[in-house]
Chains A and B, each alone.
Chain A
């Protein structure tokens, strides 16, 4: 069975601090895809990154970086020098290879960045 765990329910930081959001997943498939989405107060889920199970290369995009480690089944997300606009709920999601686009989401981590 597929499962995504985001153990941090809420995180509060002060602007310019670095923050890491944890994501641990479970799957029996050898081919799978991992995603991070951001949900600002407006409610719409915004895609941030996709990673497939064969690509363990870490990725950096501006202030965002992702650390994918198959050995620990983790796909953590770090925001460097956080800003107030980063305040949102962040979701990690898993999709197994196959005929369906189904995403299994974690419960989300609510990040509040205070000025």
Chain B
């Protein structure tokens, strides 16, 4: 079974630009979560989508948004990029059942804002 894939793997953008990152979950997984990882703040939850609906959102400004498509693929968008948005963005998918299952993570997208 293929794992979680994320594209692109690396991205360099300029302040003020916007960026879209893509995530394809493991086949059959309907929940997709996004996390931001930085050296200072560690791993922080951005948002989670399940069946095309946002189920939860972390404490990030409105410049961060996302969506999920009917095939469970997800995208996240960051508008008006700031230097502090430089980070590793990780996507995770999970199989939603009655219990909490483990999330499987993709390799991440390394975003550098200059």
| Residue ranges of A at the interface with B (Cβ–Cβ < 8 Å) | 33, 35, 37, 42-47, 50, 52, 91, 95, 97, 99-108
Contact = CB atoms under 8 A, between A and B. Distances in A.
Given A43-B88, A45-B90, A99-B55, A105 B102 contact: no
A35 B55 contact: no
17 contacts: A33-B100, A37-B105, A43-B108, A43-B110, A44-B105, A45-B90, A45-B105, A47-B102, A47-B105, A101-B48, A101-B50, A101-B94, A102-B33, A102-B48, A104-B45, A106-B42, A108-B42
A107 B102 contact: no
Contact of A44 (B44, B48, B106): B106
Interface of B: 31, 33, 35, 42-45, 48, 50, 55-56, 58, 88, 90, 92, 94, 96, 99-108, 110
A78 to B, nearest CB: 20
B42 A105 contact: yes
Interface of A is mostly: loop
B45 A102 contact: yes
* Nearest 4 pairs of A and B residues by beta carbon: A100-B56, A45-B105, A105-B43, A33-B100
Given A35-B102, A44-B108, A101 B88 contact: no
